[in-house]
Amino acid sequence: MKESEEKKGLSSGKSMSAEEAIALVPQGARILISGFGNAGDPKMLIDALCASGKKDLVILSNDLGSPNADLGKLLTNGQVRGLIGTYYNWNPEVAAAYNEGRIFVELVPQGSFAEAVRAAGVGIPAFYTPTGVGTELAAGKETRSFGGRDYLLQEALSADVALLKAHRADPLGNLTYYKTARNFNPIMAMAADLVIVEVDEMVPLGALDPECVVTPHIFVDVLVPVR
């Protein structure tokens, strides 16, 4: 396969198999994982992470799939130490594990979650938001008043690793996404020390219109082509 890719001008020093890429993820890592429901999540990388048996992981994601499905497999396997995200109603195992003290869960409103990831990517350590004021989500957070309105301090959300999904990539790692499957991918690419991207289609250098590139290659460390 690699020889065929070289002939087509698709080979890249960044390309690895899913297993090789996941081997770079340390035990106990804090991992950003893209996706909104079943859209834009790196299913091949998630499967490889589940198969790796790595434990004590802290997963930052919009949701955690369903019991023993997609991201939910990590929890079913006992690989998760904590969750930071916005919507876990699809997976009742999250509530059960939390109530039994097996994991910690930090709920962050979806807009605040997206902005906290973006903030980490651009070097902003925290920001104030009105979302969550007067609710249980405000517990333990600093509150300040601006212009007569109360705001909560939300810290940025960064990670050791990001596992992402792109539609097309060139050998350098410039990325485009497929419609709503783009979701959290671009901001998560900016907020992790190691960025691993599952790619539907590799294209030759120069095949991507620069005006259509969403994530520049400088943010991408590893490319994992879908086989």
Share of residues in the chain with pLDDT > 90 (%): 89
Answer whether residue 200 shows pLDDT above 70.
Answer: yes
The full DSSP string for 31-55 is EEE--BTTBS--HHHHHHHHHHT--
Q: What angle do CA 125, 184, 66 make, to 5 degrees?
A: 115
DSSP E strand stretches across the chain: 30-33, 57-61, 80-85, 104-107, 126-129, 143-146, 149-155, 159-169, 175-176, 192-202, 222-225
pLDDT of res. 158: 98
Q: pLDDT digits over 63-119, tens only?
A: 998 898 889 999 999 999 999 999 998 899 999 999 999 999 999 999 999 999 999
Find the mean pLDDT for residues 151-178. Answer: 98
35: left (phi over 0), alpha (psi -120 to 50) or beta: left
